[in-house]
Amino acid sequence: MRSHPRSQRRKTALGAATAASLLLLAGCAPAAPPRGSGADADLGAYLGQELDWVKCDETSTSPKDAKLSANPALQCASVEVPLDYDEPEGKKAHIALTRLPATGDAEGSLLLNPGGPGGTGTSFVASTLPQWQASPVAERFDIVGFDPRGVGASTPAIDCYTDKEYDAGDVPRFGAVYDITSAEEANKLAERCAAGSGGIANLANAGSTDVVRDMDVMRHVLGDDQLTYLGYSYGSELGAMYAAAHPDKVRAIVLDGAVSPDLTASEFRLSSFTGLQARFDDLAALCAKSPDCVLGPDPAAANDRLHEIVQPLVETPAPTTGGRDLSVWDVYLGISGGLYSEAKWPDVISALTALQAGDADQMLALRDAFYARTADGAYGHDFDTNIAVRCMDSPRMTPEQQTALARKIGKAAPMFDISVLTAGNYHSECEAWPAPPTRDEPWLSDVEGIPETLVVSVTGDPVTPHKGGITMAKALGGSLLTVDGRQHGAYLLGGSKCVDDAVNAYLLEIKTPPPGARCSL
C-alpha cells in the first residue's frame, strides 16, 4: 500500500511529537464507553505475559528508527493486547515499548505519551534521552514510552495513504477543516483506510477507550501496582480517562498542555484555532518591529497581508528546488507548526519573506517539519491514525455542522479565512467511518476518588489554551502549575528549571506545588 509502510516511518522527534501532531485534535473522551467495558473478560493470559526486553536495534523498522534507538541504554519490547476487548480470545494487537531502565533501584515505571493522536512514545524517549539521563526521575523509575495501537512500531498499523501521496497532496488536506466536500470523498477515505489497515476491525478498535485499556495491561505487565504517568496534550486525555476508570490504580499523573474536558470536539477545535490566531497576532507584532516586515508595519492588517501572499498558491502551487510543489495547504501547515513555539517564530517570518520573494523552499521545510518528514521522504507524523482515533472518539458531524464549524473558525481565526479553507461546503472526515464512535460528550464527569494529580498549563499555549488546563485541574480535583510563556508543552520542553523541578518533586515524592504556583519559560 505504502512506498514506506507507516510502521516503518512514524518515528517522531521531540518537538514534533509533542506539538505539531496536536493541531488535528478534534474530540474528547467519555467517562465510560457505551460498548462493553471488557471488565469481566478473561485477560489472564495477557496480564501474565513476561516482556522480552532486547536492544532496540534488533526491533528497528527503518534506518531512522535504528539511528534514533541505537543508544545501548535503551531497551525495546512489545505487549500483547486484545484487538477487541469484547473478544479477548480473538485477534491480537502488539504495543511497542521503549525503556530507559532506572539507574538506581527501580521503584516502578513512568509511562508516557507525547500527544497526537498519532505521536509515538518510543521515539519520544529516544529523542529526549539526554534530558532523562540527567533527570532524578530516571534514577528511581524506568522511563517507558509506548506507541498506541495503530501508531509507530505497534501492530496492526493504520494506513490510508502513501508517503508519495502525502508529498503530492493527494490526501484529505487540512485547513480549518479537512477539504472533504462530498459523501463520495468521505466514502473514499473510509474505504482507503479499511483496505490499507487490514480491515474494519482495526479501525473499529483504534479509539482512545481501547488505548486506555491497553495502558492498564501495560501497567500490570510492567509490574506496577499503580500507574505513574506523564501525558502531553492528547496524552492528557488518556491520563484523565485512565484516572476516571481506575482511580484506585493511580500513583501519580502529570498532564502537560491539558485538553479541556468540558468542550465538545468542535468547541475544542475552535478553541485551538483561536489560540493559533492569538500567537499569529503576537508573531505579527514581533515582525512589525522590523522596518521591512513581510506582514507590514501594522499588526492589525497582518491577516489581510498573509492572504495576499498565499492567494496565488490557491490556483498555482509554487515550485521548489527539490522538485516538489508548495500548496496553500502546505503554507498553513508550516505556519501553524511554527506557531507552536515562540522560538520558531523567526523561522516563520523568514519563510514568509522568502515565499513573497518567490522562494518556496523555507516554507516547504516548515511544512515538512510539521509532518516530521525525513530527507528520504518518510513521514513521521501519523495523520492516518489521527483521523482513525478521532473518528472512533467523537460523535459524527453532519455536513451542515462541519460547514458551520469551518465558518466559525474563519471568524475566530481570520488568518485562516480565505475561500479555499472556509468558504466551501464540507463533509466530516468521519462521515462514512465503518464503525460508530465509542465515546460521548462531555468526556469527563462524576470523577471521584482520584489521588492528587498535577496539571501543567502554559498561559500562551497555542492549541490547548490555559483555560483548559484550569478546567482539567478542577475536574480532577488536582493541582495546577501555571507557566508563563508562549509554546505548547513545558516539562522537559521549555528549558525551565522551575517547571522541571516542580514536576520532578511530584513524580518522585507526590509533592504538589502550592496553590497559585507559577513558573516561566
**Cα–Cα distance measured from residue 236 to residue 213, given in angstroms and rounded to the nearest whole number:** 15
Which of 4, 220, 466, 488 is catalytic? The answer is: 488
* Helix extents (H) in 435-492: 466-476
Please tell me what DSSP assigns to residue 228.
E
Do 100 and 373 contact (CB within 8 A), yes or no? no
Catalytic pick among 147, 256, 461, 500: 461
Using the CB atoms, write b or e for 296-305: b if 16+ within 10 Å. Answer: beebeebbeb
Backbone angles phi, psi at 206, to 5 degrees: -95, -5
CA nearest neighbour of 203 among 121, 93, 113: 93
Task: Mark whether 488 is an active-site residue.
Answer: yes
Q: Which run of H or of E encompasses 17?
A: helix 14-18
Contact 361, 330 (CB under 8 A): no
Q: Give the integer Cα–Cα distance in Å for 405 and 427.
A: 11
220: nearest Cα among 89, 44, 52: 44
Whether the CB-CB separation of 294 and 347 falls below 8 Å is answered with: no
* DSSP one-letter code for 379: B
Instruction: Please measure the distance between the N-terminal and C-terminal CA atoms of the chain and give it in whole angstroms.
Output: 43
**94 φ, ψ to 5°?**
-125, 125
Q: Which of 233, 271, 336, 496 is catalytic?
A: 233
Q: What is the DSSP string of 110-144?
A: EEEE--TTT--HHHHHHHTHHHHHT-THHHHSEEE
Buried b (16+ CB within 10 A) or exposed e, 13-28: bbbbbbbbbbbbbbbb
Q: Residue 105 is placed in which grid cell?
A: 533501584
Q: Which long-range contacts (CB under 8 A, 24 or more apart) does 90-94 make?
A: 91/201, 93/149, 93/154, 93/155, 93/156, 93/205, 93/214, 94/154, 94/155
Cβ–Cβ under 8 Å, residues 519 and 483? yes
* Cα–Cα distance measured from residue 312 to residue 503, given in angstroms and rounded to the nearest whole number: 47
Query: In the numeric block, which cell numbers belong to residue 255?
Result: 498532564
Closest CA to 277 of 465, 115, 422: 465
**What DSSP element (H or E) covers 492?**
none
Distance CA 222, CA 227 (A): 10
> What distance separates the 2 farthest-apart alpha carbons in the chain?
69
Whether residue 233 lies in the annotated active site: yes
Q: Provide the 10 A C-beta neighbour count for residue 178.
A: 24
Q: Which residues are catalytic?
A: 233, 461, 488
